[in-house]
Structure formats: C-alpha cells, structure tokens
Amino acid sequence: MKALHLITCGLFGLLSVVTPAATAQETDYTSIKVEIERAIARGNEFLKTKQDAEGHWGNTEFPAFTAMALQSAVRAPGFDLKKPLPEHLDKGFKFLLSKQQANGGIYHKQLACYNTSASMMAMLATGKEEFVEPTLKARRFLVSQQADFDAKDESDNALDGGIGYGSTFGITDLSNTHLSLEAIHYSKHLAVDSKYGKQPELNWDAALKFVTRCQNLKETNDQEWASDNEEVEGGFVYNPASSKAGTIDLGGGRTALRSYGSMSYAGLLSLVFADLDESDPRVAAVKKWLGRNYTVEENPGMGQQGLYYYYHAMAKSLAASNVKTLKLEDGKEADWRSDLATKLVSGQREDGSWVNDNNRWWESDPILVTTYAVMALEQIYYSIPQK
C-alpha cells in the first residue's frame, strides 16, 4: 500500500531570477519540507470546509473537482492509509462511485475522460482493495476512448492514437491524452495482475505517435507545421492541428504552431509514460525547450492563463523523469523544487486557499486551484532526495 502511494505521488518563488546555487543533492530541504507540509495541511483544511453535505466538491457535474480534493487529502504527508478513510473522505469516494456509468466512465454528462482520469488517480492513491474493480472498469473505458478515426479506410489521421474529452467532444488533445495516459499507466499493475479477468491495453505505439505529432520537432514529427525555429523547437502544442498559444510567422508564407509551457510538461510526462528516456531525441528536445523557457512566474507562451495547471504539470513531469535540476540555456541549473515550492507557499492565501486572478480554464475557482497547488506541493515533497 505504501509503495502504491509513493508511486502515484511523485510532483509540484520568491525567486524570479534563477541562480546557479547548489545542486539538488547539496540543497538542504529541511526547512522547505516543513513549509511544504504546513501549506499542504492548510490547503486541505480549506478544502474540507468546502465539501458539500452530500460529499462532493464543486459542481456535481464535474466529479474531477471531488477527485482532486480527495487525492489532495489522501496523499498528504502523514496520512495513514492503513486506517479506514475519515468519514468526510469516505463520503467523497461514495459520490465518485455514484457517478460511474455502465460503460465504466466516471462522469455526469460531459468531459468524460477528464473526469474519469482524475477519479482513477484518486482511487489509486488510496491503495485500497475496495477501489480495484471500479478502477479497472474506468480504465477499460479510457482505453476504449483512444481515437482511430479512419480505421475502416486504413488512412492515417494525425489525431489518431490520442484521447479527447470523450462523450461530447471527438477531437483528441494532449491535455486529455496525458491525463488518461497517467491513469492508465499507474493502474497497469492492476490490469496485469487482475482477478477480474484479462484487461484490454492501450495501443501505446499509437499514443506515442499522437504525442510525437504534438511536438515541434522536425526530426520526429511528420506534420508540416513542425519547426526547428529556436523559439518553438522541442516544445509541445495542444494537438496536431492547433495550439492554445497561437502561431509564429516563419517567413515565406510559412507558420508554425507556438509551443507553450503546460503542454510541454504534459508532453514530457507522456513520453515518460511511453518508457522513453534521455537518449530519445524527443525527450532531449523538450527538456532543452523547458530549460530555455524555465520560469515559475507564468505559463510560458500563455502568461497567467492556466498557471496552476502548469505548476501541477511541471511538478509531475520533472519528478517522474527524475530531474534533479533543470539545465538552463545559460549553463546554469534551476533547483525547480525549491523555486516552485517557494512560489506556491508564498502565494497561499490567509484562508489556506490559492486562486488565479486569470479565470481561463476555471482557475478563478479556489477549489480547483487549491487542489492543483496542494497536489503540486505533494509531488515536490515526495520527490525530495532522502538523506
């Protein structure tokens, strides 16, 4: 149970300027860990006060809000998974299960894959046997949502292999794909060693092809827009057809989709789940882009839009890929754990919450943003090198 907790908990400054300082191994994280623990506890206390009497958090049509609040609680340092869940968390998980559909997905009417992925991660974080069967049902649903738009005529669609919102949206994207890959990856041990019979598996080759087609890297991406322009090379976009950060003019009538921070960290995490390492050019290229654009002050390419989603994606991907310090363009190295933890702790409000002044992607909602911040801090906490 403890091992599962650590596997699923692996990431998230007063510092606006990166200094070479010490390496991660040399840094004394003792005081930082104390601050992180306190911020996590305060964040979870805030979330506890926002739970509805019926057990859910936020809008009942989006179980992901409840799932992320539950995940924040059970991953907290010192939380005892060997004991029965506290009553308020038990009610929260019962709400999640009440949203499980006949097809296995955990959602109300829309954003099926987004809600299902978050719900799976909450159940997996507990390591409890009672959630194995519903997790596998949800996993089968996510696997079934992998796109193969042109299976009948055997043509190759750039959106194939990815996963979208599901239910009401058919177009695939890297955001939903990386969240689904995360849930599918971390539940793989349940599928392999299942008393519930043989489980379907994702077509990982197709998923990797989709992810590759979201990266600005001419060496591996066969899409015409992929560019070796230094501003965008190595970074990721929303899907092979669009970027939320727009385009850049390459001259001569050519344009490239603009890479941006949150999707570049989502791309790195997806490559990790596909079992690629630093020897692969896609991994090396995205780390180089992330180093060129390293900051905890904004979501590169998007400003303050999606900032806390960006923080969470940063923490998860850098921890999962075992990045101790991130190499920057000027030869310096960023201690991302210290930078990000400091930024998050300093931004916590008096009531224990966080909120983004920019409301795009629901980030004016303190429940959602507080879960992003708490989960990011928990990722940092569990990824700090042990003495």
> Which residue has tokens 């990824």?
383
Check whether 44 has a pLDDT greater than 60. yes
- Look at residue 151 in the predicted model and tell me its pLDDT: 60
User: CA nearest 112: which of 60, 167, 150?
Assistant: 167
First to last CA, the chain: 23
User: CA nearest 344: which of 42, 2, 3?
Assistant: 42
Check whether 326 has a pLDDT greater than 50. yes
C-beta of residue 271 within 8 angstroms of C-beta of residue 286: yes
Min mean pLDDT across 151-155, 186-190, 279-283, 380-384 is at 151-155
φ, ψ of residue 210 in degrees (nearest 5)? -60, -50
Q: What is the 3-state secondary structure (H, E, C) of 326-349?
A: EECCCCCEECHHHHHHHHHHHCCC
Check whether 298 has a pLDDT greater than 80. yes
pLDDT, averaged across the chain: 90
- Look at residue 169 in the predicted model and tell me its pLDDT: 52
Is residue 281 within a helix (H) or strand (E), and if so which, with residue range?
helix 281-292
Taking residues 210-214, report their average pLDDT: 98
- Look at residue 27 in the predicted model and tell me its pLDDT: 62
Min mean pLDDT across 95-99, 108-112, 154-158, 227-231 is at 154-158
User: CA nearest 202: which of 165, 159, 147, 157?
Assistant: 147
**Beta strand pairing call for 169-173 and 163-166:** antiparallel
- Look at residue 387 in the predicted model and tell me its pLDDT: 62
Amino acid at 95: F
